[in-house]
Every structure is written in C-alpha cells, then in structure tokens.
Chains A and B, each alone.
Chain A
Amino acid sequence: MSRVRHVAARVRRTSRATGASQRGLGPEVAERLRWCVHPRLYLAQLTAEERAALGPAPDIDAIADHYLTVGAAKGLRVCAFFHPQTYADRLAADGLTVPDGEVPFLHWLQVGWDKQVVPTPLFDDAWYLEHHPALRTHPRWIFHHFLTRGCYQPQWVPSPAGRHHGGGPDDDAVHRQDPLLLPELLHRADEHDLRQSSWLEAGVIAVLAKRERVQSAAMQEQIAKAAELEPGVHAPLRVELPSIAPPHAHLGTRMAGELAAARRDRSLDVVDTVVLVPHCRMSGAARVAGELTAALSAINGEGSVAVVATDLPVFERPGLFPDGVPVVDLAHRMVGLAQPARRDLLDGFLRRLRPRRIIVVNSLLGWQLFAEAGRELAKVADLGAYLFTWEVDEHGHRYGFPVGPLQQSLEHLSWVLFDSQRLRTELVERYLMPPATRDRLHFLRTPLATVEADATGVLERRRAAGEPVRVLWAGRFDRQKRFDLVVEIARLMPEVEIQAWGKPVLADVDLDPADLPANTRLMGVYDGFAQLPLDDVDLLLYTSAWDGIPNVVLEGAQSGLPIVASAVGGVPEVIKPATGYLVAAVDDPAAYVAEIRALLADPAGAARKAAVLRDQVHRDFTMDHYRAALRRILGEGAQA
C-alpha cells in the first residue's frame, strides 16, 4: 500500500471517529496541512463534477479531507507553495529523495518541513529576511511567516522576482486562505499542468535563471568594467529591488490576458454605450443604473449597451439590468491588481470596445479613469456621469463623488445627471457655475419601479380595526441610514412595533440584535419593495442622514403608504407638508416620534396626503418622461 493510501485509510478511520480526518497525520502535521490548503488552487484542478460534490464553498477542512482521500493519490496540488520539482531538487541538494510510493507533498509536511526545505521557487528566505529585517526575531521558521501571513498581505516581498502579484490588498484573503498571488498562478492555467507548475512558477524560475546568468564570468567582466567608470552602479549601502522579466512577472501580460478573457466571456466586440458601475448589490444607485441601461437600450437599440462592473467582484442582483444587456464583471478580472494597473486595464478594455459614450454610475475606478485619463478619453467618446449624493464621514464632513472626483473630471464630462434637483442646485451655487457649465448638469426623475404594490386604505383600515401600530423601515443597516435613530424611536414608542428589513452592506456600524428593544424586529433581506408586507404596516419610516431621492421613499410613495422621512438631500422634493411628514431635526428621535404621532392621530389626513403623493409620483416619475429627457440630453433623435 502506498504511503498516501495508507495515510488516507488511516485518515478515513480517524475521520469516522473524530470527524477531523487531518488528525490522522498527527496534530502537528495536520496543522501544517491546514496552513497549506489553498482551496482555489485545489478546486481549479478538479472536474466540474468533483467541484459540485464538494459544494459551493468548501471550507479548509473539507478541502484537506478531499486532498487526503482523493487528490494526493492523483498528484493534485493543494498548496500554492509546494512545487514538486523544486522540492525534489532541494531535497537532492541535501542528499535526500522522496521514497518511492510516497506523496512528495506529504513527505515535505512530515520530513522537509522539519529540515526547513523551502519547496517553492516563489520564496527566498534570505531575501525575505534581508528585505523585512523586523522578521529577524520571528520565533519560527521564516517560511511559516510567509505561508500564514505574508502571502495574504501585499507589503511582503518574498523573492528576488518580486511580490508575484499586482499589489492590491484583499482583507479577506487570509480567511479564505487565498494567497494574493493566486490570480497570477492561475493565469493561462490551460497551458500548464497545475499539478506540477504554473505560469507564475515557470516565470519565477525563468527570472531566477536570468539573474543567475548575470553571475556568469562574461557578464561580471562587463559589470566590472562599467563599475570602473561609475562605481555607483553597485548601489552600495542599499538593498536590491526585485527583478522584472517580461513576459513573466509582467503585469501587462496578465492584464492583456484578463482583457481578452473579459471580452470573450461576453462575446463583446464594439458597443455604443458603456455604463460603469461599481458592483451590483442592494443600493438605489444599482437600480438607477438598471433603469438607465434599459432606457439607453430602448433609445439606441438592443445590443448597443454594455454594463461593466469595476470595483468589487460582487454581483448579487443581475436582474436589475435588462435581459440582453451584457454585464461584464471586470472587477473579478482585476482581483489583486493595484493602481495604476486597474485604471489602465479599464482604459484598455474601453478602448477596445470603442464606445461612443461612457457613463459612470458610482464606479470609483470609472471616476479615477475620467480624472486621470479623461482628456484623452474624451477625444474618442462622450463622457457622462450620474450623481446621487455626497457621503458624510464620522466627523460630519462631506466627501464622495460630487466633491473631489467631480472636480477632477468635470472639464471632460459632456453631461452629468442628478436624481435630485437639490444636489444639482448646490453644485451650481457652490461653484458659481456659468451657463455653459450648468447647462451640462441635468436633473432627471428616476422612473418608478414596475411594482404592483398598493397600500391605499391600509392605514385607515388598520386604525379602525385597532390593530397594533406597525412601522415599516427598509434599507441598508449602514451608517448613512441611521438605524440607531430607529432604535431610539422604538424605545420612545414602546406601543409601536418597528419592522426593519434589510441588511448591513458597508459594515460601518455595530449592530447587535441582542441589544435591540423588544418592539424592533429584524425581518431579513428583501428583494424589491413589492415583497414587503404592505398590508400589515401603517407607515413607512425613513431616517437617512444624507441621500438623493431615495428609492425606498419613491417606492413607498408609489404604493400609497404614508411616509415619515428625514428632510435630507432630495427627500423634500417629494415629501412635503401636503404629501407626508417631513422631519427637519433629522438627528432627533423625538422629532420623528412627534411626526409619527401626528400621522397616527389623523389617519384620514395621512391617507389623503399619501394619495396626493401617490398620484404625484405616478405622474412625474415615469419611464416615458425619463427616456424623453435622456434622449434630449444625449442629443438623440425621437424614438422610432
């Protein structure tokens, strides 16, 4: 029985007893194995069926188990830092070999580790220590530092061939055990037998060989002659910087490959308009991007628009975009890249699509591109942007797209769209904009979502029936949305139940469900306003500290729900004394309570206001108006 079968059999026996198969290796070696498991590399070597059997997101133990029971015998690699040939070579240099029948990686875990044999060309212990002198006091084998920390953080340089990745941070990489260099390691994966090597490892070996050639007598003679003329060439007193040797270890090579793959993914050739979005998750801006895309498709025809996600590889709500519009997840292709490579990759992608028009909708990378390359880009395309609101930091200072990015890009923009009049007016006044500039700034009412929800009469029915008062709050549990106010309001109104729908997205507040008052219920995530139980609530409460014209307010208005809302951003353009209950003291829970009580004291009056508001938004916030206005702004003819 081969060693691996023996181990696997032992592991299976142990697993049945303990549920943790790696323990069959002994606790110390099992721990080493866990440090070494890199799920993405391992999964890349499995068949689709094998991956499916492991489930959508197998954890480290599941991968380790699978490796021991299946992968090791097939020669699969579970660790990005185990290169079989390098291990064999370095072991041979110590006069050792892996015994026949043994799995080299398991041999290294049990033997090579203790002899401190570095089994990869990607790490050079002397280089690592020289370039990170603080690690000289590291209490363990220095390779252990790189394996458990250094490979997940961009600042560590493990080899004369550099970092092996694009330099972009990924705070979650350590939890996923996803070394930052994996995109480079998996580059051109179809050209390599990943069980043995990869694009990255072949490249690093090539770089090291080129460096070795510099040590040849012929080159050393040339170097010595140059140093006779200029002793400074040896850069005494300074540490050496990593070597670069294209095509390997050259960012452009990976970027070109990613660009080609992104275009191939969606069979993109040339498009008329590109809409740049950051990602697609729960946000009003994502819905507006969807409406904009639908309108552009209607104006310019099917196949004319492409959506490109640039900032985060998160695409939770693709349904917001119309069928037939290609959505390119370029963010996924830029994982691990830092600036300016990310900007250059987007630039290169756009230039190949040759769009007539590029529109930024909250894409940070898009704004950076406009700021830094807008002058050149504007020569070949009309550049446009959508603005919703500024953000506010914890000290109350404004920042965000309408502040710095707009300032850096405005001269290159053909037009800017706003979802509220308020922000447009503020910018015009603050910049003392001349007509030529302000004429490029356009307020567009976001069309209502196509939902059938109708809460007309619900308030009066529920009040007449003496039902417990129930308040609806829906949104992201983020700092901007001021869920803390909701909690205070709940404490001030113990007779009222507040149903809160949504989830944290930005994770910028601490929310402890155990700390909530009993009359506050977290209802979970919702997918569209129509999904909310509008027949069972009396009013919509909106508490944001800043915003444009928020979707949730529009959707509440559209359904006929009475609304109590903070007077921020564009909200007063919709909620007025005749249409709802506006809270001017937006930070004061008591002010919200007063308005809620006023609403509940006169259900008939509240219902009348809601009806006026409902009529108003159905009249003003229509897709027809939106498309007609957009067509005018874009200089397009009447729709055929």
Chain B
Amino acid sequence: MTIDISAVLVVSEEGPRAGIALHSAIDAAGAARQQGLDVEVVVVLAHATPATRLAVGAAEEHGARVEHIGGVDPGTALNYAVSVAKGTYVAMLDGGALWSENWLVEAHAVAQASPAHTIVHPEVHWFYEQGRELYFPPDQTEPGFDPAAVRLGNCWDALAFAAASIYRAVPFAALGADAQPGDLDWAWSIATLDAGLQHRVAPQTLNFRRRRPRTLR
C-alpha cells in the first residue's frame, strides 16, 4: 500500500518540548487520515539528548516509527530523515515546533497541483518565545516577489511539505554543527530556487515555533 505522507519529526536537544511536537504531529496525522490520506509518523532521533529521548519515549505506543542517526550536522540528519521516509510526500517538523492540525491536509492539497515542483509552507509562522511574532512566508506566485531578494534575506523555513523526490533531488547542505540557526533554511531556499522549484503557501495553516531564525527577515 502506498503511503501518501510521511510526517517526520526530527528531534535532538529539545527536551520535554519534543513531546508536544510529537503530539502535534500525531494530531495532524489523525486529521489527514480522516480525509482518507495514508500517513506514517516517523520520529528521527538526531544525536538526541537523554531528555529528548525520554520525551518521545512513548512514540511507538502512539503508532510512530522511531529512527536514529548519530552526528550533529543538522543537514545530514534531515537528509537521513528523508531517506527513511516511505511516503510520496514528506512533511518535516522540528522537535521544538507544532503544526496546526490542518497542516497535512491543506499542504497536501496545494502540493498535489504540481507535485514535482511545489514546496508548501504554512500561511503563518507563529513565533512566541519573545512575544508573539507573526511571519507570513511569501507565495512565490505573489506579485512583487523577486527571487533575487532571497540571496539577501531568506524567506522560507526548510521544514516544509514537499514530494520526497524533491527532498532527494535537492538535499540539505551539510553546514556543520557550527552553522547558525537559519543558515540551513537559507541555503535550502536558494538551492530550491536554483533548481526551479516553486514555494507555495497553504491557506489557513500555521506553524508554531519558539523563535524566529535571524535569517528569516
């Protein structure tokens, strides 16, 4: 049987928060299944701390598959996560983030229009650690969008929704453990634009995270 979506949660040092991220992924997967989509939930422990391992310790009890990777390079960990995903599409979630429950359903609907070329982002990134901060990623079809701007300031988070074939064709860069938060996102944004892919937005969806990466500006 074909799996439509791999909902991949990548955790490393988030500690107890990873449990909330897992809960969010399971809820979104449940909502997608109700719409007839076949969804697997995969938890990738990427050089995870003991507290993080503990936080997602009940993942398998909730139907998630658990995978492990050593090393601390975030790009390598994401590429590994893609390699173990069995779905036609992959939705990436960070261990410190939450999806809106409708995310998988709505993102899947947008991606299906052009599966080989579309990367889907939520309509709103909701950052909340230092006071609520709303970030609206651009839809590339929006008038006034200039791809050249992305070389001077990133627009998109790399933890998005796209066909697994896209993630395999444009893998994440191995920037090393010293890379600043957001550098990986920015590098992937540029690489995907160079590859001719199109970043779209799924209406009425949200992604909740603690802090806006400095490159997302």
Tell me whether B20 and A256 are in contact (CB under 8 A): no
A252 to B124, CA, bound (A): 19
Most chain B CB neighbours (cut-off 10 Å) among A242, A245, A248: A245
Tell me whether A255 and B136 are in contact (CB under 8 A): no
Stretch at the interface among B58-66, B77-85, B145-153: B145-153
Question: Which B residue's beta carbon lies closest to that of A239?
Answer: B131
Tell me whether B208 and A226 are in contact (CB under 8 A): yes
Type the 1/0 row for B17-29, where 1 means its CB is closer than 8 Å to any CB of A: 0001001100100
Tell me whether A226 and B135 are in contact (CB under 8 A): no
Most chain B CB neighbours (cut-off 10 Å) among A216, A229, A238, A259: A229
**B135-166: which have CB < 8 Å to A?**
135-138, 142, 144-146, 148-155
Tell me whether B131 and A230 are in contact (CB under 8 A): no
Nearest Cβ distance between residue B95 and chain A, in whole angstroms? 13
Most chain A CB neighbours (cut-off 10 Å) among B130, B145, B149, B204: B149
| Across the A-B interface, the 8 shortest Cβ-Cβ residue pairs | A252-B153, A252-B149, A238-B131, A245-B136, A241-B133, A222-B100, A256-B148, A252-B152
Counting CB contacts under 8 A, is B126 at the interface?
Answer: yes
Contacts of A232 in B (CB 8 A): 128-129
Interface residues of B (CB under 8 A from A): 20, 23-24, 27, 98, 100-102, 123-124, 126-138, 142, 144-146, 148-155, 204-206, 208, 216-217
Tell me whether B24 and A229 are in contact (CB under 8 A): yes
Contacts of B137 in A (CB 8 A): 246
The answer to whether A245 and B128 touch (CB under 8 A), given A229-B23, A256-B148, A348-B152, is no
Tell me whether A252 and B100 are in contact (CB under 8 A): no
A375 to B138, CA, bound (A): 32
Tell me whether B149 and A256 are in contact (CB under 8 A): yes
Question: Which B residue's beta carbon lies closest to that of A207?
Answer: B136
Question: Which A residue's beta carbon lies closest to that of B134?
Answer: A243
Tell me whether A226 and B24 are in contact (CB under 8 A): yes
Question: Which B residue's beta carbon lies closest to that of A253?
Answer: B149
**A182-221: which have CB < 8 Å to B?**
188, 199, 203, 207, 210-211, 213-214, 216, 218-219
Contacts of B144 in A (CB 8 A): 188, 199, 203, 247-248, 253
A199 to B145, CA, bound (A): 12
A-B CB contact pairs (8 Å), 21 listed: A210-B124, A218-B204, A222-B100, A223-B100, A226-B98, A226-B126, A229-B98, A235-B132, A238-B130, A240-B133, A244-B136, A245-B135, A246-B153, A247-B142, A250-B217, A251-B217, A252-B150, A253-B144, A256-B151, A257-B146, A345-B152
Tell me whether A234 and B152 are in contact (CB under 8 A): no
Tell me whether B132 and A238 are in contact (CB under 8 A): yes
Contacts of A234 in B (CB 8 A): 128, 132
Q: Tally chain A residues at the interface, Cβ within 8 Å.
A: 45
Interface residues of A (CB under 8 A from B): 188, 199, 203, 207, 210-211, 213-214, 216, 218-219, 222-223, 225-226, 229-230, 232-235, 238-248, 250-253, 255-257, 259-260, 341, 344-345, 348
Question: Which A residue's beta carbon lies closest to that of B17?
Answer: A230
A210 to B154, CA, bound (A): 19
Tell me whether B152 and A256 are in contact (CB under 8 A): yes
Known: A244-B134, A246-B155. 10 other contacts (CB 8 A): A188-B144, A219-B206, A222-B102, A230-B98, A230-B208, A240-B132, A244-B135, A250-B155, A341-B153, A344-B152
Nearest Cβ distance between residue A314 and chain B, in whole angstroms? 25
Tell me whether A241 and B132 are in contact (CB under 8 A): yes
Contacts of A216 in B (CB 8 A): 204
